[in-house]
């Protein structure tokens, strides 16, 4: 049968197969769009299924173009909203240039140290990459000179080593000013949401600050073409990167985080008819978590927005203050209260079937968590329909674990990664999890790296000879004749540290 005679449904299946099976699928789809008007109409939806928007004029214009396009507005199913930001500390004020120089010099020095250590020994030490890295340390020295308060605040009279940074700073100031003009007390968020309303097939929104914008710079580094990293173009691109929510090492404790972007987005979404099936938030943990502090009205907007969501994912990563283990990384409960209020509101959907709460690398360095699952979630869960649950580094008391288990009558897949037990014993916690097997719906269980109680709080479980698979079999109900694998078990290497 000629492809021209295929029904539209089968034609779309062919294009879908190309999309998922061929790494060059975009070029193939573009070619098929040129065959005929019918091929153009049926192939176009597979060309762009996702869109990304940042808070700058060009990005908003691109989103508007897609939202008003007769084809893409119907078939884009996911929009990623980038909430990285240009830092006021580095763009405004008498000493902005000095701080910009200090910040970039510090980050460059940190990267150079990592690159230098990565060279190892032998021939790598004499390679072009190694020489480029060693030579680049002089750039740090020149940039540090600009950070001194005796250096002209306008960046006048630079030498050749400093010119690229000062030119980048002037461009950074323009990018910051444009960002502030676009954000404009929530106007930017309202504009983004107005475009989202035009995507009739929208199912998923992802709010993230993980995305790094290093284009050419990133490609050079991945290709290990280090000399190109330290050309004027490479350094300029590096200096113009926006910041994640932690800021950078130098700005982490002083920066004004754009948390208002998140609250404004939820407020604007709650005032529309957009009720997404899937919503995801993945942001960096601020150096001071008190920055995440929604008002009661904003929390209600979160609940309204997710009220019909079936899949919800929230990831908070990089918990070390200033990304450093040398800092005091203990997080008191009072500091985390705003985050707990947000997570509780976010996972409030009565239609929820799949959820993920990831607190990546929390606690950072052997600290004992000051919160538990009952602070982070409303327990029992508001939805009795949850079939898949993934929890990473989430602390539990035995009571909160029991309450969670009792609210999962339809659970099919359970994934606990590094759960921290705050009281009692893991042998009893496993008995609580074993209750899930009575539902007869459970088909998959993973439990990686339990902490607290018998296992300590320094990942000592790795050394203690615990059979992970046997623990998972017990939860699944596959060890009825053998019993709880931790019953009578004594840690071979002691109880770890701190508990």
164 and 187 inside one domain? no
What pLDDT shows up at residue 44?
A: 59
| 292 within domain boundaries | yes
DSSP state of 379: S
* 53: exposed, middle or buried (Cβ count in 10 Å: 0-12, 13-18, 19+): buried
Q: Quick check: bond before 286 cis, omega within 30?
A: no
Closest among 499, 402, 428, 487 to 458, alpha carbons compared: 499
Residue 73 phi/psi, 5-degree rounding, is -65, -20
Which residues make Cβ contacts (< 8 Å) with residue 326, sequence separation at least 6? none
Per-residue tokens: 151: 């250096």
Which residues make Cβ contacts (< 8 Å) with residue 228, sequence separation at least 6? 216, 220, 234
Three-state SS at 84: coil
147 and 92 inside one domain? yes
317 and 459 inside one domain? yes
- Please report where in the chains the tokens 């750039």 appear, as a residue: 139
268 and 356 inside one domain? yes
Residue 156 phi/psi, 5-degree rounding, is -75, 155
Nearest-angstrom CA–CA distance, 323 and 110: 12
Three-state SS at 112: helix
| 231 within domain boundaries | no
26 and 163 inside one domain? no
Which residues make Cβ contacts (< 8 Å) with residue 98, sequence separation at least 6? 146, 147, 148, 149, 151, 153
What pLDDT shows up at residue 490?
A: 72
130 and 107 inside one domain? yes
355 and 291 inside one domain? yes
Nearest-angstrom CA–CA distance, 278 and 260: 21
Q: How long is the chain?
A: 499
* Tally of structural domains, the chain: 3
- Please list the residues that pair with 415 across neighbouring strands: 390, 446
| 310 within domain boundaries | yes
160 and 277 inside one domain? no
311 and 410 inside one domain? yes
CA contacts within 13 A on the Cβ side of 332: 3
Q: What is the helix, strand, coil percentage profile of the chain, to 5?
A: 50, 10, 40
262 and 322 inside one domain? yes
| 98 within domain boundaries | yes
Nearest-angstrom CA–CA distance, 108 and 137: 8
Three-state SS at 317: strand
Q: List per-residue pLDDT tens for the chain, 499 residues long.
A: 555 665 655 655 555 555 544 555 556 655 656 566 666 655 656 667 789 999 999 999 999 999 999 888 988 889 999 999 999 999 999 899 999 999 999 999 988 888 888 776 655 667 888 888 888 999 999 999 888 866 776 666 666 778 999 999 999 999 999 999 999 989 999 999 999 999 998 999 999 997 554 444 454 455 567 888 888 888 998 899 999 999 888 888 888 899 999 999 999 999 999 999 999 999 999 999 999 999 999 999 999 999 999 999 999 999 999 888 888 889 999 999 999 999 999 999 999 999 999 999 899 888 899 999 999 999 999 999 999 999 999 999 999 999 999 999 999 999 999 999 999 999 999 999 999 999 889 999 999 888 888 887 755 444 455 688 889 999 999 887 888 988 887 766 544 433 3
What torsion do the CA atoms of 352, 354, 359, 363 make, to the nearest 10 degrees?
Answer: 100
| 233 within domain boundaries | no
| 389 within domain boundaries | yes
Taking residue 212's Cβ as centre, other Cβ atoms within 10 Å add up to 12
Q: What does the DSSP assignment read for 153-202?
A: TT--S--HHHHHHHHHHHHHHHHHHHHHHHHGGGHHHHHHHHHHTT-TT-
Question: What Å distances lie between residue 218 and 213, 226, 311, 340, 359, CA to CA?
Answer: 8, 10, 32, 35, 27
Domain range spanning residue 394? 53-65+182-217+244-476
Is residue 382 within 8 A of residue 410, CB to CB? The reply is no
333 and 314 inside one domain? yes
Among 149, 175, 201, identify where a domain stops. Answer: 175
Is residue 332 within 8 A of residue 290, CB to CB? The reply is no
Residue 80 host element (H or E): strand 78-82
What pLDDT shows up at residue 8?
A: 58
Is residue 484 within 8 A of residue 471, CB to CB? The reply is no
96 and 15 inside one domain? no
Nearest-angstrom CA–CA distance, 416 and 394: 8
| 289 within domain boundaries | yes
| 497 within domain boundaries | no
Nearest-angstrom CA–CA distance, 36 and 13: 17
């Amino acid at each position: 049968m000629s492809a021209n005679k295929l029904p539209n449904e089968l034609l779309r299946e062919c294009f879908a197969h190309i999309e998922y099976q061929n790494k060059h699928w975009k070029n193939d789809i573009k070619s098929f769009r040129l065959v005929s008007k019918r091929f153009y109409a049926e192939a176009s939806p597979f060309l762009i299924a996702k869109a990304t928007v940042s808070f700058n004029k060009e990005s908003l214009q691109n989103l508007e173009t897609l939202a008003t396009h007769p084809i893409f507005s119907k078939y884009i199913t996911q929009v990623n909203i980038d909430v990285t930001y240009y830092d006021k500390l580095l763009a405004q004020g008498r000493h902005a240039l000095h701080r910009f120089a200090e910040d970039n010099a510090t980050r460059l020095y940190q990267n150079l140290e990592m690159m230098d250590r990565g060279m190892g020994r032998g021939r790598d030490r004499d390679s072009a990459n190694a020489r480029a890295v060693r030579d680049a340390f002089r750039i740090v020295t020149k940039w540090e000179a600009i950070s001194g308060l005796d250096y002209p605040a306008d960046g006048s009279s630079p030498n050749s080593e400093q010119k690229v940074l000062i030119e980048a700073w002037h461009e950074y100031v323009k990018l910051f000013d444009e960002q502030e003009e676009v954000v404009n007390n929530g106007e930017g968020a309202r504009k983004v949401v107005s475009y989202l309303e035009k995507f009739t097939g929208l199912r998923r929104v992802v709010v993230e600050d993980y995305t790094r914008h290093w284009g050419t710079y990133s490609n050079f580094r991945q290709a290990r073409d280090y000399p190109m990293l330290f050309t004027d173009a490479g350094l300029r691109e590096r200096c113009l990167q926006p910041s994640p929510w932690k800021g950078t090492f130098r700005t982490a404790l002083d920066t004004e985080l754009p948390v208002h972007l998140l609250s404004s987005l939820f407020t604007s979404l709650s005032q529309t008819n957009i009720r997404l099936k899937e919503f995801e938030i993945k942001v960096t943990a601020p150096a001071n978590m008190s920055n995440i502090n929604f008002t009661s009205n904003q929390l209600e907007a979160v609940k309204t927005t997710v009220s019909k969501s079936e899949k919800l994912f929230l990831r908070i990563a990089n918990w070390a203050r200033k990304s450093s283990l040398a800092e005091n990384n203990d997080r008191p409960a009072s500091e985390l209260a705003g985050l707990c209020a947000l997570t509780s509101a976010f996972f409030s959907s009565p239609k929820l079937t799949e959820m993920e709460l990831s607190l990546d690398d929390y606690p950072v360095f052997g600290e004992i968590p000051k919160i538990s699952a009952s602070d982070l979630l409303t327990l029992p869960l508001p939805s009795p329909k949850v079939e898949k649950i993934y929890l990473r580094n989430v602390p539990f008391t035995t009571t909160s674990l029991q309450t969670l288990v009792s609210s999962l009558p339809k659970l099919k897949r359970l994934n606990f990664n590094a759960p921290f037990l705050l009281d009692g014993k893991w042998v009893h916690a496993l008995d609580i999890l074993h209750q899930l097997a009575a539902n007869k719906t459970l088909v998959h269980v993973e439990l990686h790296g339990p902490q607290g109680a018998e296992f300590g709080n320094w990942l000592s479980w790795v050394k203690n000879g615990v059979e992970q698979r046997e623990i998972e079999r017990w939860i699944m109900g596959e060890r009825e004749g053998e019993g709880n694998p931790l019953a009578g078990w004594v840690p071979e290497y002691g109880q770890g540290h701190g508990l």
